[in-house]
Structure 1
Amino acid sequence: MRTFLRENSLSLFFGTILILALAGQAIAGLAEINQQQLTSGLHPVTLGDYLLSSDFAVDVAENWQSEFLQFLLYIYATVWLYQRGSSESKELGKSGPESDQDQQVGRYATDRSPAWARAGGWRLGLYSRSLTLVMGTIFLLSWLAQSVAGRAAYNAQQLSEYEDPESWLGYVSSADFWSRTLQNWQSEFLAVAAMAVFAIFLRHRGSPESKPVGAPHDSTGVEG
Structure 2
Amino acid sequence: MRRFVRDNGLSLGFGIAFLFALAGQAAAGHAEFNNQLATDGLAQISFGNYLMSSDFAVDVTENWQSEYLQFFLYIVATVWLLQRGSPESKALNKAGTESDQEQRTGEHARHDSPRWAGIGGARQALFSRSLGLVMGGLFLLSWLAQSISGVAAYNEQQLRQLQAPIDWGNYLASADFWSRSLQNWQSELLAVASMAILSVYLRQRGSPESKPVGTPHTSTGVEG
Q: Which residue of 2 aligns with 1:70?
A: 70
Q: Does 1:92 align with 2:92?
A: yes
- 1:172-187 aligned within 5 A: 172-187=172-187
Return the alpha-carbon distance in structure 1 between the equivalents of residues 218 and 199 of structure 2.
Answer: 11
Q: Which residue of 1 aligns with 2:125?
A: 125
Question: 1:41: how far off?
Answer: 2.0
Return the alpha-carbon distance in structure 2 between the equivalents of residues 103 and 126 of structure 1.
Answer: 14
Return the alpha-carbon distance in structure 2 between the equivalents of residues 173 and 41 of structure 1.
Answer: 30
Unaligned runs of 5+ in 2: none
- 1:196-207 aligned within 5 A: 196-207=196-207
- 1:14-93 aligned within 5 A: 14-93=14-93
Return the alpha-carbon distance in structure 1 between the equivalents of residues 136 and 152 of structure 2.
Answer: 24
Q: Percent identity?
A: 65
Return the alpha-carbon distance in structure 2 between the equivalents of residues 141 and 122 of structure 1.
Answer: 24
- 1:182-193 aligned within 5 A: 182-193=182-193
Question: 1:161: how far off?
Answer: 1.0
Task: Give a deviation string over 1:94-144, Cα, whole Å, max 9, x none.
Answer: 100001111011111111111111111000000000000000000000000
Question: 1:74: how far off?
Answer: 0.4
Return the alpha-carbon distance in structure 2 between the equivalents of residues 133 and 139 of structure 1.
Answer: 10
Runs of 4+ in 1 over 3 A off after TM superposition: none
Unaligned runs of 5+ in 1: none
Return the alpha-carbon distance in structure 1 between the equivalents of residues 5 and 151 of structure 2.
Answer: 41
What is the TM-score of this pair, normalised by structure 1? 0.99
Return the alpha-carbon distance in structure 1 between the equivalents of residues 133 and 77 of structure 2.
Answer: 14
Q: Note the aligned Cα RMSD (angstroms).
A: 0.6
Q: Which amino acid in structure 2 is aligned with residue 209 of structure 1? A: E
